[in-house]
Structure 1
């Protein structure tokens, strides 16, 4: 399964500032367990278009980070990834939304809304949190001691 971490950033689609090394580090670590990458989109419509283009024998599984989403523990996120691996999902996309939130169309297309709690985070920091949680979930699945029940 391929995993794509993405963010919508209209003002700075390619800029990740001082958070870039952290995002890259967790993406690199995750790549030991699953093909993992990061991509920024200027507009939500660009992400939705990408979803259409990247559909292969299975449609990409879309997780949207949203404050109204379900709060998952790290083991629950690992179980969710496991379900997608087992279901034969080819691509899982975990997306950080635009500043004004996801549109009704994006919410309708999403397979799941996931929250990092009720707090609001800058896109770059949310991307770091998502990248670390994806890595943590993959290590939980692999039985790696990184998580160790914390």
Structure 2
């Protein structure tokens, strides 16, 4: 399985980078996972609604250019569907059985995702109704991808 995470913004915290790298290493026998980091739009300290919309639009254009044709696109969206780890594992299994082995997850910027990116998504996934930093959600996502593979294989999972 090939999994890509397209994300707006860079990881700034060393502890998050270390955690992400650990899960990427653990995922090596299970899948090929690539992370595509896109630049955030520069914004004033207190942006207007129009400036936010413009930033979302420009980030959305860059996100769409990073998405491969034919990939199963899943966007992370606070208003999306919440799944258990077991349900995510079952979703991976179902997609694989249907011949869909190319998945792309998208994590938007600070102000969210453009309507065009949301419309292109096959699914919207929410980790919680709570708000997390986009940097932190990347760590949570790679951990859940790893956990899904372990669940699918019936292997124990311990950190």
TM-score by length of 1: 0.85
Query: How far apart are 1:38 and its partner, in Å?
Result: 1.8
Q: Which residue of 1 aligns with 2:17?
A: 20
Cα deviation digits, residues 125-144 of structure 1 (max 9, x gap): 00000010000001111111
Please say if 1:117 is aligned against 2:133. Answer: no
Change (3 A) 1:44 1:25: farther
Please say if 1:45 is aligned against 2:61. Answer: yes
Please say if 1:78 is aligned against 2:89. Answer: yes
The runs of at least 4 aligned residues of structure 1 exceeding 6 Å deviation read none
Q: Which residue of 1 aligns with 2:7?
A: 7
Cα deviation digits, residues 48-94 of structure 1 (max 9, x gap): 1121xx32xxx001111110000000000001111111121242011
Contact kept, 8 Å, 2:6 with 2:66, in 1: the verdict is: no
Contact kept, 8 Å, 1:44 with 1:98, in 2: the verdict is: no
Cα deviation digits, residues 81-128 of structure 1 (max 9, x gap): 111111212420112111111111111100110001111111110000
Larger radius of gyration: 2
Change (3 A) 1:39 1:16: farther
State the superposition RMSD in angstroms.
1.5
Please say if 1:31 is aligned against 2:28. Answer: yes
- How many angstroms apart in 2 are the aligned matches of 1:87 and 1:8? 30
The alignment of Structure 1 onto Structure 2 pairs a total of residues equal to: 138
